[in-house]
Chains A and B, each alone.
Chain A
Amino acid sequence: MNSAPATSAATDGLIADLERASSTIELLQATAALARTADPAAAAALVQVLGFNNPGAAVAAVDGLIAIGPAAVDQLLQLDPRNYGARAWAVRALAGIGDVRGLDLLVEALLTDVGPSVRRAAAKGLGCLRLQALPADERPAIEQRCLEALVEAVSDGEWVVRYAVAVGLEGLAKGSAWPIEHSSRGCTCAALGRLSDAAHEDTPVVRLRAALALQRLPSF
């Protein structure tokens, strides 16, 4: 584990408040206050909150971790996989941060997690990883993994996950290295075509979203 960065006195005080919190409402307020600092030194404490089985506080902690950004990723990836509740919230945080180190966990969550809200967040996250800073030769393989996972999830049993897959595919194509590979474009169009086709997709809002993504595709 990396040595902890020097914490500011203010952040230390807020972490101490969080540790003292003895009721649901105190926990929520202390988490929200710590989250607002967006201080990397708060990451470990916020990740701990994800495991407290308190949805309100977990939502606030996820917001804080996304605000901290890449500096929170190590802490998130160190979570024990057996702590299912915390991992589900971590997927949402990693999807929001968009750091490529979260790729494996997002792919695994999209394809295997039992919670539709976790798969939904993972699908959106795979469409908005921040790949611009990576060396140009590393990007295509990562984009290919995102695309393959999203295409596989087109047959997810929950409409909201398929909706998020349409959003993810659009985001991936938009953010993709230019020019987008011919074969990737074909895969994206085929997957969105299936989601927009009433013969395969029975949920109207999913068809509508996929059709919108297709319509936006030619201008990339």
Chain B
Amino acid sequence: MAGEPINEDEALARLRDSDDPSMQYYGAWWLGRNRSQHPEAVPLLIEALQQRRPRDPGAGVEENAVARNAARALGKLAPAALAAVPELLAALADADDGLREAAARALGDLRAPEAVAPICMRLAGGPAVAGARQSASPRLMEPCEALLEALGDIGAATPEVLGVIEPFMAHDWPLIRSAAARALLQLSGEPRWAQPLLELLNDSQLQVRRAALMDLGAAGWRPAAAAISATLAENSLKLIALRGLIENGRGEPADEALLQTMDDLL
């Protein structure tokens, strides 16, 4: 198959070679991409996750790049990677917001209930604090999109968690509103949270339409099938969203109708 010239042993060897971050970066990616079951994969990725230094925009950030890729890979290696939850929780408090983002996504992928309280703490300031723009960058103070999505994926539907997420429905950025609506829909199952996502499918920006597609798919909101199919975006993304409706959702339209909608987009 295209683009996979190395094998598992080679990927593990590259990850062990801490003298060459670019090799480690690729090794970590490979192990996650291929869902490695090798007993050494998770311990090596935990080591790579710890191998980092404070972010220095003027110099190389190679070591943090390795740590971020290690976090992403760990998210794909459940259940073995549940052993990495303490290290991922530590990464969630790192000064590098890119690493916090990768750690949040991995904790969401691993459905780690231990992450709910620390994630809520990071979001507690709401759109005006956690969701405020950093002064010298186009990024937000917290990686809100990843944090919100992780809460939805982990699935702890308590009033406290819903109360932390809901204020982000008023964020200026459609991508953040999309992530918040997705999490609220996943956690509460209430149709009122699907409505904003359906509206974002018609947003003027392609990037926003793509995010709303992915979010409806993640939430498995089956009544959105026809709207997904009609969205102005690549069929590849609509197919991923429809796959999400089938795998994550229940009810109407039923499986066979959804499969037909997918067939028509091939």
Contact = CB atoms under 8 A, between A and B. Distances in A.
Interface of A: 55, 114, 116-117, 120-121, 123-124, 156-157, 159-160, 163-164, 167, 202-205, 208-209, 212
Given A117-B236, A205-B247, A164 B256 contact: no
B59 interface: no
B128 interface: no
Contacts of A204: 246-247
A85 B255 CA distance: 34
B36 interface: no
B262 A163 contact: yes
Main secondary structure, interface of B, reads helix
A156 B259 CA distance: 20
B236 A167 contact: no
Contact of B1 (A157, A159, A164, A205): A157
B190 interface: no
A160 B247 contact: no
B235 A117 contact: yes
A160 to B, nearest CB: 6
Given A117-B235, A157-B4, A160-B239, A208 B246 contact: yes
Interface string B123-163: 00000000000000000000000000000000000000000
Contact of A205 (B35, B236, B246, B256): B246
Nearest to A206: B243
B121 interface: no
Given A208-B259, A212-B256, A156 B236 contact: no
- With a 10 A CB-CB cut-off, give which of A55, A114, A208 has the most chain B CB atoms: A208
29 contacts: A114-B2, A114-B3, A116-B236, A117-B234, A117-B236, A120-B236, A121-B266, A123-B266, A124-B263, A156-B1, A157-B1, A157-B2, A157-B4, A160-B239, A160-B240, A163-B239, A167-B263, A167-B266, A203-B243, A204-B246, A205-B246, A205-B247, A205-B262, A208-B246, A208-B255, A208-B259, A209-B259, A212-B256, A212-B259
Nearest to B244: A205
Contact of B266 (A55, A124, A156, A205): A124
A114 B225 CA distance: 29
Main secondary structure, interface of A, reads helix
A17 B109 CA distance: 51
B86 to A, nearest CB: 28
A167 B3 CA distance: 25
Interface string B243-265: 10011000000011001001100
Contacts of A159: 243
- With a 10 A CB-CB cut-off, give which of A114, A156, A157, A205 has the most chain B CB atoms: A205
Nearest to A204: B247
Nearest to A167: B263
A202 B34 CA distance: 12
A205 B244 CA distance: 9
Contacts of A117: 234-236
Nearest to B1: A157
